[in-house]
Amino acid sequence: MPFILFPVSRVVVIGGGAAGFFGAITCAEHGVSDVLILEKGPTVLEKVRISGGGRCNVTHACFEPTDLLEGYPRGRTSLLGPFYHWQASQTMEWFESRGVSLKSEQDGRMFPVTDDSQTVIDCLTGAARELGIHCRTRCGVNKVGVGGVDDFRVETTSGEQLKASAILVATGGIRSGAARKPLTDLGHAVEPPVPSLFTFQIKDERLEDLQGVSVANSSVRTGKLAAEGPILITHRGLSGPGILKLSALGARELAKRNYQFGIRVDWTGGRGADAFAAMIMKERRGHGARKVMTRSPLPQFPRRLWERLAT
């Protein structure tokens, strides 16, 4: 489906990463005759090379857009539409149709059957080459200007001035000024990035020396933010999917709180205080002589953690 609404003769793609290559290939396949990728680094697709531990975790075997949303704690409403347009099935088809077979692992992650990210790099660079896309490395973009609807000027780090009828900014993470500049030059406001997917540093004697202990059925809450998932005790505090999910969900809110906040962890698998108290009472009735701290009423609950919590 063509998505560029006016005839575009030359697209300059800023950034030679996965997004830049995919965008460039898509433009060329939709009739743009002159596509040029400008990459400031010495090589293209450098992040793809190291991705997935050198194997490149291309996509995830989850083919239902609403299920896929579960993996994205923020932006649910804005992602649903795009996921109906493009998701894991389309990614698979895209690579399979270019000779790259993917396999899925038990946890759903999908890799090229070669287990080598170079396969993905070769696929992207090969497709670009076949379509006549030009690519320049060590060629950063310093400045972008706009003269009219389809009249963009791009100034490279060597001072060269290039013209384009459309620009695709694919500079990756926008933490660095160079990556943000093409957008701000064009007058776009850029939301300052904040960390996401981080672990929590916590000083609490109940967690001391328990690193490695994890509880599968947990949930964590701070204020109105809440997330469920396994929680892992580390030597610095807490980690695991439940914590990472909360950090992503609350990325902006937690930054506003300067990362100083209290949390409540429910280790009971969502049973609630009353049901849990009833479990303890039952335990007491059944094993009156036994100390509460010697055995958790929760099935498969780590003994050492229970001893700390029940003390």
Residues at the interface with ligand FAD (CB under 6 A)? 14-20, 38-41, 46-48, 50-52, 56-57, 140-141, 170-173, 178-179, 181
Residue 12, helix vs strand vs coil: strand
Shortest distance, position 88 Cβ to ligand FAD, whole Å:
11
Shortest distance, position 23 Cβ to ligand FAD, whole Å:
9
Instruction: Closer to ligand FAD by CB, 183 or 226: give it.
Output: 183
Shortest distance, position 106 Cβ to ligand FAD, whole Å:
16
Instruction: Closer to ligand FAD by CB, 175 or 284: give it.
Output: 175
Structure tokens belonging to residue 94? 């895209």
Q: Which long-range contacts (CB under 8 A, 24 or more apart) does 170-174 make?
A: 170/13, 170/14, 170/15, 170/17, 170/19, 170/20, 170/23, 171/14, 171/15, 172/15, 172/17, 172/19, 172/47
Shortest distance, position 228 Cβ to ligand FAD, whole Å:
24
Instruction: Closer to ligand FAD by CB, 36 or 179: give it.
Output: 179
Shortest distance, position 112 Cβ to ligand FAD, whole Å:
11
Instruction: Closer to ligand FAD by CB, 46 or 150: give it.
Output: 46
Shortest distance, position 41 Cβ to ligand FAD, whole Å:
4
**CA dist., res. 310 & res. 288, Å (int):** 16
Structure tokens belonging to residue 105? 């692992």
Closest residue to ligand FAD, based on beta-carbon distance? 17
Residue 20, helix vs strand vs coil: helix
φ, ψ at 254 (rounded to 5°):
-70, -30
Shortest distance, position 177 Cβ to ligand FAD, whole Å:
9
Burial of residue 255 (CB within 10 Å: 0-12, 13-18, 19+) is middle
Instruction: Closer to ligand FAD by CB, 28 or 141: give it.
Output: 141
Measuring CA to CA, how many Å separate 37 from each of 42, 130, 160, 186, 284? Answer: 13, 14, 14, 18, 70
**CA dist., res. 169 & res. 186, Å (int):** 11
Neighbouring CB atoms inside 10 A of 276's CB total 16
Instruction: Closer to ligand FAD by CB, 15 or 250: give it.
Output: 15
Shortest distance, position 45 Cβ to ligand FAD, whole Å:
7
Measuring CA to CA, how many Å separate 287 from each of 116, 268, 283, 311? Answer: 56, 20, 6, 18
Instruction: Closer to ligand FAD by CB, 21 or 267: give it.
Output: 21
**CA dist., res. 89 & res. 114, Å (int):** 19
Neighbouring CB atoms inside 10 A of 76's CB total 12
In the chain, the amino acid numbered 176 is S
Instruction: Closer to ligand FAD by CB, 171 or 247: give it.
Output: 171
